[in-house]
Structure 1
């Protein structure tokens, strides 16, 4: 029977049968399989990680012992986009996720989290790398209860390393993720100095004054994160990378995908990324900022304690507060540039809503920066 292929993408998949059979051995075992149909769809990847060229869904049917069965695989294409991402210690080192899959590190994660299985890492002649991996079907967090569940599992994940699980130390695992990320933000964010003449309201002036002072302390603050207990961290906990999946016993499990930002970080930093990025993406609505800020931390601490950790909670709080506040190095310049745009387009409702949202996010960042300063003064 002739293989039927429907390719709805720009990707050349017509000669990838051997790669698919290699994946099928991971999924179905070493049994006789006949590939019947292939469909390839573009998942419309929009997240601004420039080392990702695209994410695709390959699916179709196979025949095993005269029975036709469905199959489904995710294919992620990664590439080098700049000289800086060639550095293994850059937060967005372009080869990192391929190396993570190749190392089998994800097979030895603490029980609190799981990862999508990596089937095949394939180098292409055009310099890209194709990552063939498991298609995980689960639910994205949409409620405070679900986010709290994830935060507790995150605490258990990080807590395993605080309680003696060996932290992997491959040279391509980032050792200073927030420092690298803030440096990149300072390079690529809008320059606030170009827009400060457009700041007229009191809230705008207060944000700019605070940000100037915060910027003066960034190097010192980043250095202080190095004093926190170390854990293996994911560092990219946006809603789309966290899936709640029920196992065979109908018990919720947390599956994390996209390990491109894997790092060795301070306790609390991973939670800060989760809270901060989901505020920025609009997943956590402004009326829940305060409640989620508290509930996520309480759930995270509960997860650390589940693993037997009896350390100083203020250390985790410091990593959480400062990690969230440091996101202002991107948010504030963006805010100031949008305020300037709004002055010339004051009837633009979408622009006004974005400015209002950013004001509320930055207020949280300012409050958490102040708390971090207080904790730092206590020399935790």
Structure 2
């Protein structure tokens, strides 16, 4: 067998595992592999607990026919003591435990996950996840994002109408609280930057942010009063694949949690603003169309609850992303005042201001909803 291994993985020692995975892919058909290739996939935003993602591919010979095959191999690792905690939002073993549990095998047709062929512990402490390669495209347009939000609403609503919430201990139960705690720990300290800034808009943002952080524990606690659903919680553009037959496949389930309605949508909206996928001049349009599509999906699944509860979860989960972005804005704005002609800094500071203005508006809207006491 000819193996073109373009990585440091000892893939030559995994031929039996490779054959077992392909059998799960095509069934118990007799086949042979004469050659295959293993490449590392470039990814600039790997999770701290992901050591690498690899693509294995080639052709197999069966019944006088040559067929292509392709497998994704994800290698996960322990990263720090906090990520060894089963309650942490980024508990490093969660995705492996999820695949072993077969919990994702019971997803509806509205949202799918890649097939997993093998979960394999290694002597070096890493875990190898052998899984299906999903072919498709990433969302680019508002219509595509609305389609995903609609499917997300259907997915969430199933756990309010027909499906039981998973009770496995390794499913995160307070994702947003864990994430905000970690983000505040690792974000830049805005204090030294605020003193030197002359920008009045940022000073206003800072005053709002101080009030937000004073009330953050109360805001997080209020989310526990929302109806609970299964959530993905990592809906950046490249984790959502639209297949040629109009299916939605979500990959990278490391953050899976039990969350309040609307929270997953807030992560999707906020993350794709931060990543620059949603155009700056369309933030408000996306904010409203995504929620409309989400609620439409929930209604189609028979959920008859008060949509203001979902709106509250959506608003709070978006607004609390500011615990990372406001410190980042202050740091970059200070750099910009020292280097005012830097166009990249100008663009990023402008983008962050627009994102945070949306976060402020959604925080105020959440406070208004809470003031009406819709069971919050």
TM superposition score category, shorter chain reference: over 0.9
Alpha-carbon deviation of 1:10?
A: 2.0
Alpha-carbon deviation of 1:31?
A: 1.6
Q: Is the 8 A contact 1:39 1:60 kept in 2?
A: yes
Q: Is the 8 A contact 1:234 1:261 kept in 2?
A: yes
Deviates more, 1:233-242 or 1:343-352: 343-352
Q: For 2:306, which of 312, 320, 325 is the aligned residue?
A: 312
Q: For 1:106, which of 96, 104, 120 is the aligned residue?
A: 104
Q: For 2:363, which of 354, 369, 374 is the aligned residue?
A: 369
Alpha-carbon deviation of 1:193?
A: 1.1
Alpha-carbon deviation of 1:155?
A: 0.2
Q: Which residue of 1 aligns with 2:137?
A: 139
Q: Which residue of 1 aligns with 2:228?
A: 230
Offset from partner CA, 1:308-337 (integer Å, 9 cap, x none):
111000000000000000000000011111
Q: Which residue of 1 aligns with 2:156?
A: 158
Offset from partner CA, 1:123-165 (integer Å, 9 cap, x none):
1111111100000001110000000000000000000001131
Counterpart CA distance in 2 for 1:331 and 1:39 is: 41
Alpha-carbon deviation of 1:22?
A: 1.0
Map residues 15-26 of structure 1 onto 2, 5 A cutoff.
15-26=13-24
Counterpart CA distance in 1 for 2:4 and 2:178 is: 42
Unaligned runs of 5+ in 2: none
Offset from partner CA, 1:28-87 (integer Å, 9 cap, x none):
101212112111111112215200111111111111122221110001110011000001
Q: Is the 8 A contact 1:111 1:157 kept in 2?
A: no
Counterpart CA distance in 2 for 1:299 and 1:360 is: 23
Q: For 1:283, which of 277, 288, 291 is the aligned residue?
A: 277
SS in 2 for 1:62: strand
Q: Is the 8 A contact 1:80 1:128 kept in 2?
A: yes
Unaligned runs of 5+ in 1: none
Deviates more, 1:63-72 or 1:116-125: 63-72
Counterpart CA distance in 1 for 2:369 and 2:44 is: 38
Give me the CA root mean square deviation.
0.8
TM-score by length of 1: 0.97
SS in 2 for 1:59: strand
Counterpart CA distance in 1 for 2:109 and 2:63 is: 35
Deviates more, 1:147-156 or 1:109-118: 109-118
| Runs of 4+ that moved beyond 2 A | none
Offset from partner CA, 1:226-263 (integer Å, 9 cap, x none):
0000000000000000011133xxxx111111100000
Q: For 2:327, which of 318, 326, 333 is the aligned residue?
A: 333
Map residues 77-88 of structure 1 onto 2, 5 A cutoff.
77-88=75-86
Q: Does 1:10 align with 2:8?
A: yes
Q: Is the 8 A contact 2:197 2:337 kept in 1?
A: no
Q: Which residue of 1 aligns with 2:32?
A: 34
SS in 1 for 2:357: helix
Counterpart CA distance in 1 for 2:358 and 2:38 is: 43
